[in-house]
Homo-oligomer: A and B are copies of this chain.
Amino acid sequence: MSKPHLPSEFELIERYFAPLARGFPGACGLRDDAAVISPAAGNELVAKTDIIVCGVDFQPDAPAERVARKALRVNLSDLAAKGATARAYLLDLIVPETIDEAWIAAFARGLAHDQNEYGVHLIGGDTSSTSGPITVAVSALGEVPTGRIIRRGGARPGDDVYVTGTIGDAALGLAVVRGELSGLDADAAAFLVERHRLPQPRVALGPRLLGIATASIDISDGLVADLRHVCEVSALSADIEARRVPLSAAARRALAADPQRLAAALTGGDDYEILFTAPAAAHAQIAALARSSGVPITAIGRMVPASAAGHPSVIVRGERGQPLAFASEGWTHFGTDP
C-alpha cells in the first residue's frame, strides 16, 4: 500500500481537532500545551482512561467514525457507572502510516457527533505514528458531588443486584460477526451486531443512581466478571439467577436456537450497561427511576456474605436453582482477536 500524504500534526490539529475544543475555554482551542478544568463548587473531578486497539477491540474494517465513538463511549460508560457527569476528554491517537486525511476527518466527525450527543469536549491530545495497529486512548474527566462517587466496594449483605438494559447482546453480536451464530433473522442479527459495535453508555441514568446505589460498575468485562469485581471490593458474594437476567428479544431468539450460548451472554464483554446494588428499601425508587428514564432496570439476585473461607464469589443459578459453571468468567484485555 502506498503511503498517503498526511498533513503535519499542527495542520491536523487546526483542521480537525481544534474545532472539537470550541465551547470549552480551558482547552484554549488546543493552541497550548495543557488545558485547565475545574469542578463546579461542591463537586470533584472523576478521571478514567481506556484504550481500544484495532484487532482487539474493533475490526480492521470498522469505519473511522465508529472507532472514534467507541473510544469515547467506553470511557463515558465508566463515568456514568460512578454517578459522574462527563465534561471533557484527552485523546491519544496512534495511527499507522496507511491512514490518510480522509480517515482523520471521519474520525473527527465521529467525535463531533458524540460530543453533541453527550455534552463533552476535547480539551487536549497527542498523535503519533506507529508501525502497529490503530490505537486510541481516551482519558475522560467528569464530575460528581464531593465524596459521593459510587464505588465498587459499597455493597452490603442483602442488597439487591440490578442491571440496566439487556445483557449479552454484544457477546452474541460478536458471535454473529464471527459467523458462529446462524439461523437468526436479519433484524435480530443486525440488532446484536450493532450492540456489539457501538456502546450506548447509560450517561443519563448514572448520575441519577447517586443516593440510591450502594455499589456500581459498568459491565465491560462481562456480567459475571464485573459482578465479581463488586464482590471482591465489597468482600461479599453474589447470588443471581440466570432466568432473571434481562435479555433482548434478539438475544432470546439466539439462545432459543442455541442454548449453549447462555454462557457467552452472561460472561461476554462489551455490554456497557450498569450493574449496581441497592438495599431492598430502594426498590420503589428504582422502579420509578426506570419508568421516568425509560431505561429498563432489573433485579437479578442478591448480595450475600462471602463463604466461610472468606472468598467472594458469584453464584449464577440455573432453572432448578443449581449453580452454573462457566469455562471463562469474562473478557480479558490480554486476549485473542475478536
Decide if A44 is an interface residue (CB 8 Å cutoff).
yes
Q: Is A296 an interface residue (CB 8 A)?
A: no
CB distance from A210 to the nearest CB of B (A): 13
CB distance from A272 to the nearest CB of B (A): 12
With a cutoff of 8 Å between Cβ atoms, the chain B residues found around residue A6 in the complex are 334
Q: In angstroms, how far is the closest chain B Cβ from the Cβ of A335? A: 8
Set of chain B residues within 8 Å of A124, measured between Cβ atoms: 47-49
Q: In the complex the two chains form, what is the Cα distance from A133 to B131 in whole Å?
A: 7
Question: A51-59, A178-186, A256-264: which one contacts chain B?
Answer: A51-59
Closest to A6 in B: B334
Instruction: Assess the A126–B131 pair: CB atoms within 8 A.
Output: no
Contact B44 A94 (CB under 8 A): no
Pick from B57, B90, B334: contact of A8, CB under 8 Å: B334
Inter-subunit contact A131/B132 (CB<8 Å): yes
Query: When A36-B149, A137-B137 are in contact, do A127 and B334 touch as well, CB less than 8 Å?
Result: yes
Q: Which of A61-69, A75-83, A276-284 contacts B (4 or more CB under 8 A)?
A: A75-83
- Chain B residues within 8 Å of A144, by CB: 36
Complex-state Cα separation, A55 to B129, whole angstroms:
10
Which B residues lie within 8 Å of A129 (CB)? 53, 56, 333-335
Q: Quick check: A135 and B135 within 8 Å, CB to CB?
A: yes
Least CB separation from A50: chain B residue: B126
Interface stretch among A27-35, A112-120, A303-311, A313-321? A27-35
Q: Is the CB of A38 within 8 A of B39?
A: yes
| Cross-interface CB contact of A130 among B47, B132, B141, cutoff 8 Å | B132
How far does the alpha carbon of A127 sit from the alpha carbon of B123 in the complex, in Å?
A: 23
Could you tell me the distance in whole angstroms from the C-beta of A45 to the nearest C-beta in chain B?
5
State in angstroms the CA–CA spacing of A100 and B290 once bound together. 46
| CB-contacts of A4-37 with B (<8 A) | 6, 8-9, 26, 28, 31-37
Whether A293 is near chain B, meaning CB under 8 Å from some CB there, is: no
For residue A49, which residues in chain B have a CB less than 8 angstroms away from its CB?
90-92, 124-126, 139
Specify which chain B residues have a CB less than 8 angstroms from the CB of A28 in the assembled complex: 151, 153
Minimum CB–CB distance for A7 against chain B, Å: 9
Q: How far is the CA of A33 from the CA of B126 in the complex (A)?
A: 23
11 more A-B residue pairs beyond the given contacts A51-B127, A132-B133, with a C-beta to C-beta distance below 8 A: A28-B153, A31-B232, A32-B153, A33-B82, A36-B45, A45-B45, A47-B90, A49-B139, A94-B135, A127-B334, A130-B132
A residues apposed to B, CB below 8 Å: 6, 8-9, 26, 28, 31-39, 44-53, 55-57, 78-79, 81-82, 84, 88, 90-92, 94, 96-97, 123-133, 135, 137, 139, 141-142, 144, 146, 149, 151-153, 217-218, 232-233, 332-335
Jot down 17 A-B pairs with beta carbons below 8 A, ordered by A.
A26-B44, A31-B152, A34-B142, A47-B124, A49-B124, A51-B94, A52-B128, A57-B128, A92-B92, A92-B137, A92-B139, A97-B334, A127-B334, A128-B135, A128-B334, A132-B133, A132-B135
